[in-house]
Structure 1
Amino acid sequence: MQHRIIPKTGDKLPVLGFGAMRFPETAGRIDRAKASEMLAYAIENGVNYIDTAVPYHKGQSESFIGDFLEKEGLRDKVFIATKLPHWSVRNPDDISRIFEKQLKDLKTGYIDYYLLHSLSGESWHNLDDLGIKKFLDLEKASGRIRNAGFSFHGDIESFKDVVNAYPWEFCQIQYNFLDEKNQAGTEGLKYAAKSGLAVMVMEPLRGGNLAGNIPENIMDIWKSAKVHRTPAEWALRWVWNHPEVTTVLSGMSSIDQVKENIRVAEDAFPASLSEDELIVIGKVRDKYKETMKVGCTGCRYCMPCPAGVDIPSCFEYYNSYHMFKNGNWAKWQYVFRSHGIMDGKKSHASLCTGCGRCKKACPQHIDIPLRLKEVAKDFDTPVTKAFSGIAGFYLTLRGKISEVLKIKKKVR
């Protein structure tokens, strides 16, 4: 297994990390036998960076990993990465409460790589106000957090602000050959690396959409290449081709996927793709983009929107919904992020008032208000609105219950 080095610490991490969010399931629960086989094989073959989080597998992922590592005696042979779910934080005590439970579920006394989960500019400022820097400083000093970082799903300027706001060791961004200009993108990748941060890449296959159910016209391009590879291998090699990338996280769901990804990682060196191979990938990218409903480049000249709509993100999810056969993945990403479930800030398409400022600013001459109506028609349905309302109510109620319990505890 190849390794790349964390600039600030000298840690050697495998170029392939195990994303623990897509284990095989049986009756809605992690299939522990199959998942254990996958993890054991991965670790034996050098994939010793395991990335998990509170919400993965409806709260089962962390405890499963903790049980597996304890049973197999492998805790000291792996790097565990997990995340603070900022949407569950209402006060400083929540940060410590969540962290303590994570240590308990993972059956460990320390976290190797601890991230603030799915930040945007707004959620970072909220955590900052609640004292997250002090928490990280104290836990790093105690050794219970060995490296601090964040995962990110906002715009490039907010990304740079977060990079500059704390002495992070690493960050995690969505990156693949379709997302060069989305979210942090290539600019963010290079900015983080120049700032001395290791960069972990998530969604290298865009939720699996770049690996399976490939349209025939896309497969024809892949087959035309002189080198024959699976679509997944092409996509992974494109990410690893960037020397700024430290580890690529793959949410593997079968032992065959584990074996294939390990095979590919063995010789996917930085700058190893030839000019002809990059041209093939470029043709695939262009063909995918021909199917986009909205020709948005993500330049953000339309922002900020006075009504609060995150216009580029709305179009990004809308395009993904129509580009891939597994479009519901994009739809629910949109619901969780734009309806405020993650950070309380609503930015969905139906907030548009039709003022037209964005239309005048768009260098692509997109009729943005009209296209946002199309997004709202597909995404802001009664079902998704009801779901977001219930989810928001649940999180608020849980926060209030937590407050009451803390008050009672203090009174005692």
Structure 2
Amino acid sequence: MEKLGFGLMRLPQTDPNIPSSVDIEAFKKMADVFIAAGGTYFDTAYPYHGGSSETAFREAVVKRYPRDAYTVTDKLPMFLINKKEEIPRIFEEQLARCGVEYFDYYWLHSLGKISYEKSEELQAFAYIAQKKAEGKIRHIGFSFHDAPELLEEILSKHPEMEYVQLQINYIDWDDPAIRARECYEIATRYGKPVIVMEPVKGGALANIPEQAEQLLKECRPSLSTASWAVRFAASLDNVMMVLSGMSNQAQLEDNLSYMKHFAPLDAEERAVLARAIEIVRGAIAIPCTACRYCT
């Protein structure tokens, strides 16, 4: 369980058309099972579920468990911030929404060229470093959506960043647009552990073409299609945590079935997955993860 994190971007909802309608009772049951199985890592953010993800975490976990039973990651939404004075206001709001006195991990959220330049201009790196010094944050870092060249620039200028959160999955690994492998290798070279987001590519790799799914099932009949994607990411040596945005109890139970006693992909599995990847690549027209950042 040390490599499976509970991503709080796709929680169960009482109304599938209203992102803010988080089903708290269903989430409580899922959190209970996750923690009972040895899970501790929860990942939320300011805009998730229309602002309801953080408060849902407070109700389902913070109010019901001692502080040493879990760790929580939150993020400063630089894509929503335009003035320096907004940074402390949002940070304090996040602490209140989550109901905690400090964050175990805190990232600058979704850095790309524009948001990175803004982060420098508004001194966001210095702000989270100061909050770490004050004890309001235990570990600092950033999540990243851009080219490897920019990642290297950020890491060279900001050695104080302890972690990098990257989009890694077996389709994006060698994709010339995402360049996930290159980003991973740069983070590794700089000695920064990687937290993986979108290992199942927004659910796309749980529903792959029948021919590819058949290959995987013939190799490991007891494993779900999604498990191959999560295990691919978790098998990377420098990956500290793989986030899974679990929307229901069935997805949680499936993740627990192979991550509670995690085994990396072996040589046979890697060969089979390579064949399946070629089939999947030929079938996905738009590489969308449904993160909705663009909206």
**TM-score for both structures, normalised by structure 1:** 0.66
- Residues 1:226 and 1:102: Cα distance change in structure 2 (over 3 Å): closer
Structure-2 residue corresponding to 1:22 = 10
Structure-1 residue corresponding to 2:276 = 284
Shift of 1:20: 0.6
Q: Distance in 1 between matches of 2:141 and 2:86?
A: 19
Contact 1:30 1:57 in 2 (8 A): yes
Shift of 1:161: 1.4
Q: Distance in 1 between matches of 2:231 and 2:80?
A: 36
Q: 2:133 is matched with which residue: 141, 145, 148?
A: 141
Q: Distance in 2 between matches of 1:251 and 1:292?
A: 21
**1:102-147 CA distance string (max 9 Å, x none):** 0111111111100111111221111111111221221111000111
Contact 2:113 2:150 in 1 (8 A): yes
Structure-2 residue corresponding to 1:304 = none
Structure-2 residue corresponding to 1:346 = none
Contact 1:118 1:152 in 2 (8 A): yes
- Residues 1:275 and 1:173: Cα distance change in structure 2 (over 3 Å): same
Structure-2 residue corresponding to 1:209 = 204
Contact 1:204 1:250 in 2 (8 A): yes
Q: 1:55 is matched with which residue: 38, 43, 47?
A: 47
Pairwise CA RMSD? 1.8
Structure-1 residue corresponding to 2:239 = 245
> AA paired with 2:252?
V
Count of residue correspondences: 288
Contact 1:121 1:162 in 2 (8 A): no
Matches within 5 A, 1:329-408: 333=292, 336-337=293-294
* Secondary structure in 2 matching 1:286: helix
Matches within 5 A, 1:121-136: 121-136=113-128
Structure-2 residue corresponding to 1:258 = 252
Q: 1:185 is matched with which residue: 166, 180, 183?
A: 180
Q: Distance in 1 between matches of 2:139 and 2:221?
A: 39
Calculate percent identity across the aligned residue pairs: 33
The structure that is helix-richer by fraction is 1
Q: Distance in 2 between matches of 1:264 and 1:70?
A: 27
Q: Distance in 1 between matches of 2:22 and 2:100?
A: 21
Contact 2:148 2:183 in 1 (8 A): yes
Q: 1:176 is matched with which residue: 159, 169, 192?
A: 169
Is structure 2 residue 287 aligned with structure 1 residue 320? yes
**1:177-207 CA distance string (max 9 Å, x none):** 1011343511221221231212100000000
Is structure 2 residue 113 aligned with structure 1 residue 151? no
Q: 1:230 is matched with which residue: 206, 224, 228?
A: 224
Shift of 1:287: 0.7
Contact 2:76 2:90 in 1 (8 A): yes
* Secondary structure in 2 matching 1:112: strand
Structure-2 residue corresponding to 1:316 = none
> AA paired with 1:231?
T
Q: Distance in 1 between matches of 2:8 and 2:220?
A: 34
Contact 1:205 1:236 in 2 (8 A): yes
**1:337-370 CA distance string (max 9 Å, x none):** 4xxxxxxxxxxxxxxxxxxxxxxxxxxxxxxxxx
Contact 1:121 1:159 in 2 (8 A): no
Contact 2:200 2:230 in 1 (8 A): yes
Contact 1:174 1:184 in 2 (8 A): no
Shift of 1:292: 5.2
For structure 2, the 5+ residue unaligned runs are none
> AA paired with 1:168?
M
Structure-2 residue corresponding to 1:344 = none
- Residues 1:45 and 1:260: Cα distance change in structure 2 (over 3 Å): same
Contact 1:201 1:248 in 2 (8 A): yes
Structure-2 residue corresponding to 1:367 = none
* Secondary structure in 1 matching 2:280: helix
Shift of 1:56: 0.9
**1:215-265 CA distance string (max 9 Å, x none):** 222222223326642111111111111111110000001112112212211
Q: Which has the higher contact order (CA 8 A, sep 6+)?
A: 2
Q: 2:215 is matched with which residue: 221, 235, 239?
A: 221
* Secondary structure in 1 matching 2:239: coil
Bigger mean CA deviation after superposition, 121-130 or 202-211 = 121-130
> AA paired with 1:192?
A
- Residues 1:20 and 1:292: Cα distance change in structure 2 (over 3 Å): closer
- Residues 1:266 and 1:69: Cα distance change in structure 2 (over 3 Å): closer
For structure 1, the 5+ residue unaligned runs are 2-13, 294-318, 322-328, 338-387, 389-412
Matches within 5 A, 1:89-168: 89-166=81-158, 167-168=160-161
Q: Distance in 2 between matches of 1:202 and 1:66?
A: 22
Contact 1:16 1:250 in 2 (8 A): yes
* Secondary structure in 1 matching 2:195: strand
* Secondary structure in 2 matching 1:147: strand
Q: Distance in 2 between matches of 1:216 and 1:133?
A: 46
